[in-house]
Amino acid sequence: MSDDFNMSMRKFLKQVGVTSQQAIEKAMREGAVAGQSVPVKAVITIPELGLTHEVSGTITAPEAGQE
């Protein structure tokens, strides 16, 4: 793949990672119980290519005082 393609993909994935982490941390601060585990799913779609990619997992809120 071309350097332009690799750079644009890395830039997009970095933006996804950074903004997603910020949103998750804010939501956890506002609504999670200390030590609570919650399921999480990320979905990336590219309609023009017929792509839907899902990643699922679990995130555990920090214990009280460990933020």
* Cα–Cα distance measured from residue 35 to residue 58, given in angstroms and rounded to the nearest whole number: 12
Q: Is residue 27 part of a domain?
A: yes
Q: Is residue 37 part of a domain?
A: yes
**Is the model's pLDDT at 63 over the cut of 90?**
no
Q: Is residue 24 part of a domain?
A: yes
Q: Encoding tokens for residue 33? A: 């119980």
**Is the model's pLDDT at 67 over the cut of 80?**
no
Q: Is residue 66 part of a domain?
A: no
Cα 22 to Cα 45, 52, 63: the distances in Å are: 21, 23, 19
**Is the model's pLDDT at 66 over the cut of 90?**
no
pTM of the model: 0.80
Per-residue model confidence (pLDDT) at position 65: 66
pLDDT tens per residue, range 9-58: 999 999 999 999 999 999 988 887 888 999 999 999 999 999 999 999 99
Tally of structural domains, the chain: 1
Residues spanned by the domain of 47? 3-60
* Cα–Cα distance measured from residue 24 to residue 22, given in angstroms and rounded to the nearest whole number: 6
Q: Encoding tokens for residue 54? A: 């899902």
Q: Is residue 54 part of a domain?
A: yes
Per-residue model confidence (pLDDT) at position 35: 87
